[in-house]
């Protein structure tokens, strides 16, 4: 009886699958569907979970106001705007727009400066990454410090990470003109992230 069920048989000239072959075929189809589903799920998950380190630079212009807050001290309050470029030209942060409001205090006597602020990095998909920064140095040489990722929107909602951070500019020429009051002005320069680590859970 079992041998009869497991073999093919002919009925009215049509080959019909025996019951155990139908089950086997059904199991095969279900297996293919299950594997396909797992592959699709893995692709979706991998597009949101990422971890790595990138080297990035940004050219920027700064617009704001320079104030003489002490006899030999100037304060810049404004925003730095530009484009971030990743060295490998890969990833969501490459060619992202970056806006960093903040302030920098500059000692006009010895050239020491220190600053702090926030940044909003907007990707080509219109998702945001938020960050904070601090720096210290000399305005004729650059201002270096730390850059910390603070979350964002969309797939970057829980992003974390940090990097050393340095900005260089031609701000010295404008600062010299603030003595005796305040002046509106613009500066340009470059920002560097030598090793920005990030993680999106």
pLDDT of 178 reads: 57
- The reply to whether the predicted model has a pTM over 0.85 is no
The per-residue pLDDT for 158 is 96
| Mean pLDDT value of segment 95-121 | 95
Q: Decide which of 3.30.70.890, 2.40.350.10, 2.40.440.10, 3.40.50.2300 is the CATH code for 50-200.
A: 2.40.350.10
Q: Which of 5-14, 135-144, 147-156, 174-183 has the lowest mean pLDDT?
A: 5-14
Nearest to 163 by CA among 125, 132, 120: 132
pLDDT category at 186 given cuts 50, 70, 90 is confident
Q: What is the pLDDT of residues 1-55, one digit of tens each?
A: 444 434 443 444 444 444 555 545 544 444 443 334 433 434 333 445 789 999 9
Confidence band, pLDDT 50/70/90 cuts, at residue 105: very high
Residue 185's nearest CA partner among 106, 67, 103, 98 is: 67
pLDDT higher for 60 or 173? Answer: 60
The pLDDT of 86-114, averaged and rounded, is 92
Please tell me the distance from the alpha carbon of residue 66 to that of residue 78, in angstroms, as a whole number. Answer: 9
Q: What is the mean pLDDT of the chain?
A: 79
Q: What is the pLDDT of residue 94?
A: 92
* pLDDT tens for each residue of 68-87: 899 889 898 999 999 999 99
| Core vs surface per residue 180-199: b (16+ CB within 10 A) or e | eeeeebebebebbbeebebe
Cα(160)–Cα(46) distance, rounded to whole angstroms?
17
**Closest by CA position to 148, among listed 117, 169, 123:** 117
Domain boundaries, the chain: 2-47, 50-200
């Amino acid at each position: 009886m079992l041998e009869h069920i497991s073999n093919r048989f002919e009925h009215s000239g049509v080959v019909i699958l025996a019951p155990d072959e139908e089950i086997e075929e059904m199991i095969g189809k279900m297996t293919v569907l299950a594997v396909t589903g797992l592959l699709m799920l893995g692709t979706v998950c991998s597009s949101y979970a990422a971890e790595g380190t990138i080297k990035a630079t940004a050219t920027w212009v700064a617009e704001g106001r320079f104030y003489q807050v002490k006899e030999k001290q100037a304060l810049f309050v404004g925003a730095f705007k530009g484009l971030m470029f990743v060295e490998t030209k890969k990833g969501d942060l490459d060619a992202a727009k970056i806006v960093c409001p903040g302030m920098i205090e500059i000692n006009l006597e010895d050239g020491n400066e220190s600053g702090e602020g926030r940044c909003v990095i907007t990707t080509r998909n219109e998702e945001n990454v938020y960050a904070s920064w601090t720096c210290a140095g000399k305005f004729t040489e650059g201002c270096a410090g730390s850059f910390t990722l603070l979350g964002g929107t969309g797939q970057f909602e829980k992003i974390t990470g940090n990097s050393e951070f340095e900005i260089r500019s031609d701000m010295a020429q404008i600062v010299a003109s603030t003595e005796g009051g305040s002046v509106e002005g613009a500066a340009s320069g470059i920002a560097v992230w030598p090793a920005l680590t990030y993680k999106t859970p």
